[in-house]
Amino acid sequence: MRLLIIEDDRDAADYLVKAFREVGHIADQASDGEEGLALALDGQYDVLIVDRMLPKRDGLSVIGALRGKSVETPVLILSALGQVDDRVKGLRTGGDDYLAKPYAFSELLARVEALARRRGNRGEETVYRVGDLELNRLSHEVSRAGQELQLQPREFRLLEFLMRHAGQVVTRTMLLENVWDYHFDPQTNVIDVHISRLRSKIDKGFAQPLLHTVRGAGYMIRDGAR
């Protein structure tokens, strides 16, 4: 995966480039808005990581310019302005995701990977399949090994989100934002409890668990046999 990091803080940018390299991605960096915009228009990037407050041209205006020129590369906005209204503004300008500083790298990585695969993604598929687990988005039916499972509406949405990102790490905040539409930190481990309920419904009694906990990061649904 090829990334462009537009960030004026040298240390932070270097850290990100190094960290992404370690997990096998290529990352370029630009230190101001103009340079970032030029590179983004020029190069073939899978995801752009854009800081909001940049010299010469601020992050939101870079995104606006890109979208104005029909460059649809997914953008993740990284900003110290982390309140709800800042987020709303960022997403309205054309950003695809928003992460407030300070952040955990695992969180950033999970979101960037989710964005990168978003387009060639299974968004339009009617039936999601992971191993012998099947979820039908139209009929709202879930079955494992041909056996029908009874899920609550919220559990269904939780599973749907996990399966859409099958093979990718999904963090607790991503779940909270996408399944519950909350952007605050609920302090306690509410998401973990929902996951363990879901797990008991889809994995209990089957030899091969599909829903995995990724330590220090989040969760992943994946066909373990492969």
Partner 1 sequence: MTALGKLLRTTAFQLTLVYLMIFILFAVSLLGYFALNTRRLITEQITQTVNTEISGLRDQYNQGGIRRLVILVDLRSRRPGSSLYLVTTATGEGLAGNVGSLEPGVLDHPGWLETNYRRLDAPEGSEHLALVRVVQLPGGFRLLVGRDLEERERLFDIIANAGQWSLALVIVLGLIGGFFVSRRVLKRVDAMTETAQTIMAGDLAGRLPVAGTGDELDRLADHLNAMLERIEALMRGLKEVSDNIAHDLKTPLTRLRNRCEEVLRGPAGDSDYRAALESTIAESDDLIRTFDALLMIARAESGQARDNMSEFDAAEIARDVGELYEPLADEKGLALKVEAQAAAPVRGNRELVSQALANLVDNAIKYARPDGKLNGAPTEILVKAGHDGEHIMLSVADRGPGIPEADRSRVVERFVRLEQSRSEPGSGLGLSLAAAVARLHGGQLRLEDNAPGLKSIIELPRVGPTGAG
- The residues that touch partner 1, with contacts defined as CB under 8 A, are 82-85, 88, 102, 104, 154, 180, 182-190, 193-194, 196-197
Residues 6+ apart with CB under 8 A from 154: 179, 180, 194
Q: Which residues pair with 97 in a beta bridge?
A: 76
Minimum gap (Å) between residue 187 Cβ and partner 1: 6
Q: Taking the CB of residue 195, how many other CB atoms lie within 10 A of it? A: 21
Minimum gap (Å) between residue 16 Cβ and partner 1: 17
Q: Let me know: does 116 contact 165? Beta carbons within 8 Å.
A: no
- Choose between 57 and 178: whose C-beta lies nearer to partner 1: 178
- Choose between 73 and 173: whose C-beta lies nearer to partner 1: 173
CA distance 29 to 13: 7
Minimum gap (Å) between residue 120 Cβ and partner 1: 32
Q: Let me know: does 199 contact 192? Beta carbons within 8 Å.
A: no
Q: Let me know: does 110 contact 217? Beta carbons within 8 Å.
A: yes
- Choose between 82 and 209: whose C-beta lies nearer to partner 1: 82
Minimum gap (Å) between residue 62 Cβ and partner 1: 23
- Choose between 136 and 189: whose C-beta lies nearer to partner 1: 189
